[in-house]
Amino acid sequence: MQRLSMIAVVMLLLGSGVAYADAGWSVYGGDDGGMRYSSAAQITPKNVDDLIRVWTYHTGDIEKRDRQTMRRTKLEGTPILVGDKLLLCSPFNEVIALNPGTGKELWRFDPKIPIEDVHPANKFTCRGVAIWSDQSQFSSTGACSKRVIAATNDARVIALDLDTGKPCDDFGTNGEVKIDPGMPLRWPGEFQITSAPLVVGDVIIVGSSIGDNARVAAPHGTVRAFDVRTGQMKWTWDPVPRDPNDPARATWGDGWQAVGHTNVWAPMSADPARGLIFLPTTSPSPDFFGGLRPGNDERANSVVALKAATGQLVWSFQIVHHDVWDYDTPTQPTLATLNLDDGKHDVVIQGTKQGFVFVLDRDTGKPIWPVEERPVPQDGAPGEALSPTQPFPTHVPALVPQKITADDAFGMTPWDRAACHDLMAKARSEGLYTPPSEQGTILFPFTGGGINWGGVTFDPVNQILYANTNRAMHLITLFPAARYEALHDMYPDKEVSPQRGAPFGMIRETLIGPLGVPCNPPPWGVLAAIDLKAGKILWEMPLGTTEEIAPLHLALPWGVPALGGSVVTAGGVLFIGAAMDDYLRAFDAKTGEELWQGRLPTAAHATPMTYEWQGRQYVVVAAGGHGDLGNTTSDSFVAFALPKEGESGPSLWSRTYDRPGGRFAVNVLIFLAGLTLVVWGVRRGWRAWRSKS
């Protein structure tokens, strides 16, 4: 593909109201609308296999933190490029500026979030930072005229000077604003901010991440906006309608009085030209029982458009009615312009844990293509108030299977397949939206399934959507609330949650067979390309191998669960890490062919980014593993690029051992060599013994 000029690309998107990065990456999702598209085209399907690692940066956490603390980290950050600085954050919210070409540290700021003596449930995550530049006529230069905006695990919003990394003294108190969650927390990390702040004009907007299933009367999921210069609160918006004059309140029964959550923990998007922001809201508290909030619970589990300057509601579209499955809206709403038969349409694309893709008009929130209300399974737990129907998109097919029976059980051997069959046969499994039960209910896809926080990627030139999905099962078992303490002690290795204030507690477990593989058939992770206009899946490929979970690093190409998203470029290459094996991958965006794998220190459960710097295209990804997934933790950010003139290309070692299957092949060779030596030694000893006798 020939490289498109910036002018040509902008003309293609004229009228969208959303600008995207040309060959930079100045916003978390690549642009305000989160398309994750770059016009950089130096790397192509023809030369991508020549990529080499050009620098690796370590945040220093491996040396500074103990192993137990590192097991609670999630290095999920995507850097941004601002001027001559690559900006990133560590799981402990240290903000770091690097030289984009060398990875050399320029400055770092440590907010010193509490690490010691914190609750075991605390997790440490930072997905990114934001940037603001003063456009006023009075100040375009000087200290803090360009600000790095960060938010922390202990609920602070911080403004730093871009040039020095020092706090901006005129923002809040000593450069920071501390958010009050509105009630005492049950543990310090019950209320956090984990996704990158959103900056629109002179307004900073942040959501929150709130601990699940502890209680009904949980912290509110209020979205907050601050003045970027002073840190003063500009507005707040609570997705739960507390105003008695709000017509949506009737859809909550009396539950609105105590219920919390419905928060926005995933990244948000903005359309500065329209002055709108777009929020993905989550489920109310608690996740798996909703009898105390009868009704559809409008604005929960929704895509919501607000005015950026005031927080005024413009529209809301609900993805799930009365959620009792933890089917949050987990991804950044993606803003794009579709070239349809009747002209251009500015849309919001929303992926879901169920594997659905909703496409909504950006001004009204109405579906571009029909969405049907279809009957779903009923007979919930005593006191439950299920919705009889749920919304199903009709144009774009579901990207994951949504029904499974015991006869579909998978196993590596007849023995573990039989074990999975027996587990599945005991549970309710009537397809999507089967309600939680005391019998035990299979959630398929599971709550980490379908499209998760990595979101979707959209190529605005070729009008193709890309999404990576997870396919596994959860078993959700309700129990009378009075049994919580006994069951918590009985199952120390399972997730046993009290849901205090509800009549039922909950056990959530991933259905895995005795040999450690999921009970549903592979692939367990898939990358797909979708033609939105035609409503057609163009190709699907398993994402990742079993190399890190199988004996001897056997790299079966079955796909594995993945956390993180992808990036697509004008060069026709799609980059993605995300999978549980230790690689950054490149795919041909047109055909889905896997073209290249770059070995990483550990798995990259983060979305990569790409940019051009001084005539060279770089691809950067965070490779830190994931404490909850059990893979090795690291503190690495790794950059790849094509060799410069006179620079060596990939070595034979990197083209063999550092690719999937390489370690298995070496292990087999070592085993065979060892076996040969043993046989040779035994035969030689036998002959020596025979000659003596």
Q: How far apart are the C-alpha atoms of 134 and 396, rounded to whole Å?
A: 42
Choose, from 154, 326, 588, 658, the residue flagged as catalytic: 326
Structure tokens at 453: 């926080």
Radius of gyration in angstroms for the set of CA atoms belonging to the chain, rounded to a whole number? 25
Residue type, 41: A
Alpha helices in 152-242 (DSSP H): none
State the DSSP code for 524: S
Annotated active-site residue 84? The verdict is no
Hunting for tokens 């409503």 — which residue is that? Answer: 535
Cα 373 vs. chain centroid, distance in angstroms?
28
Structure tokens at 506: 């909950």
Mode of pairing for the β-strands spanning 594-599 and 95-98: unpaired
Helix (H, G, I), strand (E, B) or coil at 130: strand
Q: How far apart are the C-alpha atoms of 641 and 586, rounded to whole Å?
A: 12
Q: How far apart are the C-alpha atoms of 24 and 10, rounded to whole Å?
A: 15
Cβ proximity of 303 and 351 under 8 Å:
no
Q: How far apart are the C-alpha atoms of 96 and 243, rounded to whole Å?
A: 42
Hunting for tokens 């919304």 — which residue is that? Answer: 391
Structure tokens at 343: 């002209």
User: Which of 585, 632, 328 has the alpha carbon at shortest distance from 466?
Assistant: 585
Residue 107, judged by CB atoms within 10 A of its CB (0-12, 13-18, 19+), counts as middle
Alpha helices in 61-146 (DSSP H): 61-64, 67-70
State the DSSP code for 261: B
State the DSSP code for 406: G
Count, in order, helices (H) and strands (E) of the chain. Answer: 7, 42
Active-site residues: which are they? 326
